[in-house]
Structure 1
Amino acid sequence: MFAKHVIYKHDNYNMLTVEVQGKTLVVREISDQWGEECHKFLSRAEMMHWAENHFDAKNFPRGEEQLRETLDNLRSI
């Protein structure tokens, strides 16, 4: 069984989840614009590097505050 973490969920079409599959982290990014994207990382450091470069505060409804919450949620996995 894999551990699944919901990082954020705005609605059924905009969410980010992480599944911990042994040493692999599978990030599923679902958006109403792009559909579902799946990213696989072999370490938390690799995942955090991707997240810090991938997300922009302007893409979040609550801006910088929500970006910080999202990155904190990812760090806690």
Structure 2
Amino acid sequence: MSHQPFKKHSIYKKDKWNMLNVEVQGTKIVLTEITDQWGEECHTFIGRPAMLHWANERFAKDKFDGTEEEWQAIMDAFKKV
């Protein structure tokens, strides 16, 4: 049985208290969001469509507090997972 390391993706990292990382574990996707406001939240998805749906709701363009370029970079990072 071969042990392949999980594939990790950094969606964004502003500092050590504000980051979002994604780890692909076979068909399961584990997303960890750390914020200075809410602490650490972990979400588990079965497949990319569920994760992308969450991302579109979490980072709704009309409610995003940042520039168009920052929003697009986050969405592009999610699509590369």
TM-score where L is the length of structure 1: 0.89
What root-mean-square deviation, in Å, do the aligned CA atoms of Structure 1 and Structure 2 show? 1.0
Identity rate of aligned residues, in percent? 49
Which residue is 1:57 aligned to?
64
Give the number of aligned pairs.
74
Distance 2:7 2:40 in 1: 19
Deviations 1:2-41 (A, max 9, x none): 1111110000000000000010000100000000000011
Three-state SS of the structure 2 residue aligned to 1:29 is: strand
Structure 1 stretches of at least 4 aligned residues deviating more than 3 Å after TM superposition: none
Three-state SS of the structure 2 residue aligned to 1:33 is: coil
The structure with the largest alpha-carbon Rg is: 2
TM-fit CA distance, 1:68: 1.1
Query: Where do 5+ consecutive residues of structure 2 fail to align?
Result: none
